[in-house]
A and B are shown apart, each in its own frame.
Chain A
């Protein structure tokens, strides 16, 4: 067996679906974890990295962790929410006011509750990392007030929270496969879309989109996850190292991703995008109240109220 030949080092395969560039928030998180855990228990564990959707999309990676066919992954909140619907709470539009608040809530009792629920499904959350806030970009007009969204065609992911959010704001939500979006914006088939700033930069949307409005409508949480089956097979000291490295990697990933988001916003402005902040965030949250109520049953009333109290 190859494991014996390499002298008993346990291997952990970690997958994510975006690139392995130095700016990618998922990649940063995975690499930090590798670095830290391999330093904590030298020679006892080896982490191999699988970026670029090499071993599956996020649904498959998450399923794989439940079955024990994939060890680890960095997975977007919305995909986890399909498995454990409590996670829908993080995707509620205009929920978190800023990064600091989101981190506080996710590190507190709300985050613990989510971890406990996910563990029951065979997946352990080592930490809640940061993909950055999602913002709107388009070619019609900057979004300052909720009315500015009206009548503008935005591409959205095929996810009911996003579709309902745009519907509540009077926008025109068009679900579209990611591969076709760039051309569609370029040719004017759609007016804009919504993305984390890091992705706007990486996918070069500044070349074809005029206005970037920092709507911060969704805090995109990305979770560092490990399969419970894989975790249980590890020796006790390696398990402890995995947990510790997960927490440390999460803290550092947040710091780096947060700083990077600010730099990217400045650079997008320099590359010609007209960047603006929204007038009054509370006004936006008011416009989408219906979405909160719609998802109350699947999130769970207690968890939703607990979260709302925590962000007041």
Chain B
């Protein structure tokens, strides 16, 4: 390994372990790397700026903001009410309400922690009240949050689209079936929990009650059609769709549900922009790091190393997924995706995988990383809402992560799971 490769790998790992935030660990390591190979540090500023100059990435703040406005504007609550009226009487019904409302919210929100926050803040207390353990309720909200970035729209797919220069609209389509499969799997897990712990059933809602919930929630229920209908009707690009969703959420919250107040808006906007800054500042700082990695021609070398594990593509894919899951446990998913992007693309070419399927596999893998202990944004949100430690949530969480990993396996080995929908369009 070259001197630079040592600085980049050990320096980065060391700083992370020390507790330096991801963004500064990337930045400091890049700086050291530039000094080691004696290249002008001007690259740092150049890449910080160019890393943010992407129209596709501009979707991120707006998908965050749209999700926040929908939660604060009462849309999330109404989605939960609709799901509640429909399925609460089934065994494990309340768990299914959590999963199904997260699935629906996923079609509006692009982020896992936002989905866990929107649904978990309502459903964790409710489930706890009605016979589920708080640990399971929190774990389910965390796992269901992962559906958020798998079903379109999705921040993580947007970032992969930018890294791999693939169509974001196509990547979005590839996430639909895996997202629905996760939803089905987590519903079954809720039923299994309810049967094992003999959680009492809830009374069935009358048709009139269902009708009322649906009518009250109509503006929330059509929101996904505004976003996805706009993209696939050929009306807007994903970035424009994100902005339209924001304006739609604002309109509904202010004028139809009237739960948003003008004076609340600055705080909501600033909250969303803080979330955006966490993600985007990491993207900016990863840009010089990625440049150094490319300059050393490391991606093809590492990809070649991984490809040499076996002649069988399925073994390579298995090893790759296990490696990415391990990385996703302790790493920020965005930073990991940017650093490893070149390697993954090179490897995909080597084994001849469809680039859209590869993108879906990588993105879903890192999405799952947002739930896996010890480091995961959805997990942090679930812990904060439930006031439980990560260790206590983890025991109930691992089987649910198992469900998500089964879906990842299908995505990896059955191309139709991702590509059938892509080919329909």
| Complex Cα gap A180–B58 (Å) | 14
The interface residues of chain B lying within 8 Å CB-to-CB of A187 are 232-234, 425
Q: Are B168 and A180 in contact (CB under 8 A)?
A: yes
Q: Are B237 and A180 in contact (CB under 8 A)?
A: yes
Q: Are A176 and B50 in contact (CB under 8 A)?
A: no
Q: A187-B232, A188-B234 are in contact. Are A56 and B291 (CB under 8 A)?
A: yes
The A161-196 residues at the B interface (CB cut-off 8 A) are 176-180, 182-184, 186-189
| Complex Cα gap A260–B245 (Å) | 46
Q: Are A179 and B234 in contact (CB under 8 A)?
A: no
In-complex Cβ contact of B161 among A50, A57, A179, A184 (8 A): A179
A-B contact pairs, 5 of them (CB 8 A): A56-B291, A60-B47, A67-B43, A180-B237, A186-B425
| Complex Cα gap A150–B252 (Å) | 39
The B221-257 residues at the A interface (CB cut-off 8 A) are 232-235, 237-238
| Complex Cα gap A176–B240 (Å) | 11
The answer to the question of B389 belonging to the interface, with a C-beta cut-off of 8 Å to chain A, is: no
Q: Are B40 and A68 in contact (CB under 8 A)?
A: yes
The interface residues of chain B lying within 8 Å CB-to-CB of A55 are 291, 294-295
Q: Are A189 and B234 in contact (CB under 8 A)?
A: yes
Q: What distance in Å separates the Cβ of B180 from its nearest Cβ neighbour in chain A?
A: 22
The answer to the question of B39 belonging to the interface, with a C-beta cut-off of 8 Å to chain A, is: yes
Q: Are B40 and A69 in contact (CB under 8 A)?
A: yes
The answer to the question of B9 belonging to the interface, with a C-beta cut-off of 8 Å to chain A, is: no
The answer to the question of A13 belonging to the interface, with a C-beta cut-off of 8 Å to chain B, is: yes
Known contacts A54-B294, A67-B43; 7 additional CB pairs below 8 A are A69-B39, A69-B40, A69-B43, A179-B162, A179-B166, A183-B425, A187-B425
Q: Are A59 and B170 in contact (CB under 8 A)?
A: no
Q: Are A60 and B237 in contact (CB under 8 A)?
A: no
In-complex Cβ contact of A189 among B161, B162, B235 (8 A): B235
- Tally the A-B contacts, defined by beta carbons under 8 Å: 67
The answer to the question of A121 belonging to the interface, with a C-beta cut-off of 8 Å to chain B, is: no
| Complex Cα gap A13–B39 (Å) | 13
Q: What distance in Å separates the Cβ of B164 from its nearest Cβ neighbour in chain A?
A: 9
6 closest A-B pairs (Cβ-Cβ)? A189-B234, A187-B234, A54-B294, A183-B169, A177-B55, A180-B237
| Complex Cα gap A53–B40 (Å) | 20
Q: A183-B170, A184-B234 are in contact. Are A67 and B40 (CB under 8 A)?
A: yes
Q: Are A180 and B167 in contact (CB under 8 A)?
A: yes
Total interface residues in chain B, CB < 8 Å: 31
The interface residues of chain A lying within 8 Å CB-to-CB of B133 are none
The answer to the question of B2 belonging to the interface, with a C-beta cut-off of 8 Å to chain A, is: yes
Q: Are A179 and B46 in contact (CB under 8 A)?
A: no
| Complex Cα gap A117–B167 (Å) | 38
Q: What distance in Å separates the Cβ of A2 from its nearest Cβ neighbour in chain B?
A: 7
The interface residues of chain A lying within 8 Å CB-to-CB of B294 are 50, 54-55
The interface residues of chain B lying within 8 Å CB-to-CB of A177 are 55-56, 237
Q: A13-B295, A55-B291, A63-B46 are in contact. Are A180 and B169 (CB under 8 A)?
A: yes
The interface residues of chain B lying within 8 Å CB-to-CB of A179 are 56, 161-162, 165-168
| Complex Cα gap A188–B166 (Å) | 19
Which residue on A lies nearest to B169, using beta carbons? A183
The answer to the question of A122 belonging to the interface, with a C-beta cut-off of 8 Å to chain B, is: no
The answer to the question of A258 belonging to the interface, with a C-beta cut-off of 8 Å to chain B, is: no
Q: Are B2 and A48 in contact (CB under 8 A)?
A: no
Q: What distance in Å separates the Cβ of B183 from its nearest Cβ neighbour in chain A?
A: 26
Which residue on B lies nearest to A66, using beta carbons? B42
Q: A50-B294, A54-B294, A179-B56 are in contact. Are A64 and B43 (CB under 8 A)?
A: yes
| Complex Cα gap A301–B40 (Å) | 37
The interface residues of chain B lying within 8 Å CB-to-CB of A48 are 297
| Complex Cα gap A48–B295 (Å) | 10
| Complex Cα gap A184–B2 (Å) | 44
The B114-170 residues at the A interface (CB cut-off 8 A) are 161-162, 165-170
| Complex Cα gap A176–B425 (Å) | 20
The A1-27 residues at the B interface (CB cut-off 8 A) are 2, 13
Q: What distance in Å separates the Cβ of B236 from its nearest Cβ neighbour in chain A?
A: 8
In-complex Cβ contact of A56 among B2, B50, B238 (8 A): B50
Q: What distance in Å separates the Cβ of B1 from its nearest Cβ neighbour in chain A?
A: 12
Q: Are A180 and B238 in contact (CB under 8 A)?
A: yes
Q: What distance in Å separates the Cβ of B283 from its nearest Cβ neighbour in chain A?
A: 15
| Complex Cα gap A186–B167 (Å) | 12
Q: Are A2 and B50 in contact (CB under 8 A)?
A: no
| Complex Cα gap A63–B43 (Å) | 10
The interface residues of chain B lying within 8 Å CB-to-CB of A56 are 47, 50, 291
Which residue on B lies nearest to A17, using beta carbons? B165
Q: Are B165 and A54 in contact (CB under 8 A)?
A: no
| Complex Cα gap A67–B170 (Å) | 38
Q: What distance in Å separates the Cβ of A172 from its nearest Cβ neighbour in chain B?
A: 15
Q: Mark A183-220, 1 if CB is under 8 A from B, else 0.
A: 11011110000000000000000000000000000000
The answer to the question of B342 belonging to the interface, with a C-beta cut-off of 8 Å to chain A, is: yes
| Complex Cα gap A178–B167 (Å) | 9
The B5-64 residues at the A interface (CB cut-off 8 A) are 39-40, 42-43, 46-47, 50, 55-56
Q: What distance in Å separates the Cβ of A67 from its nearest Cβ neighbour in chain B?
A: 5
Q: Which of B47, B169, B235 has the most CB of A within 10 A?
A: B169
Q: Are A2 and B2 in contact (CB under 8 A)?
A: yes
The interface residues of chain A lying within 8 Å CB-to-CB of B297 are 48, 50
Q: What distance in Å separates the Cβ of B115 from its nearest Cβ neighbour in chain A?
A: 25
Q: What distance in Å separates the Cβ of B342 from its nearest Cβ neighbour in chain A?
A: 7
In-complex Cβ contact of B237 among A53, A176, A182 (8 A): A176
The interface residues of chain A lying within 8 Å CB-to-CB of B55 are 177
| Complex Cα gap A64–B294 (Å) | 15
Q: Which of A50, A69, A182, A187 has the most CB of B within 10 A?
A: A69
| Complex Cα gap A186–B422 (Å) | 13
| Complex Cα gap A212–B291 (Å) | 38
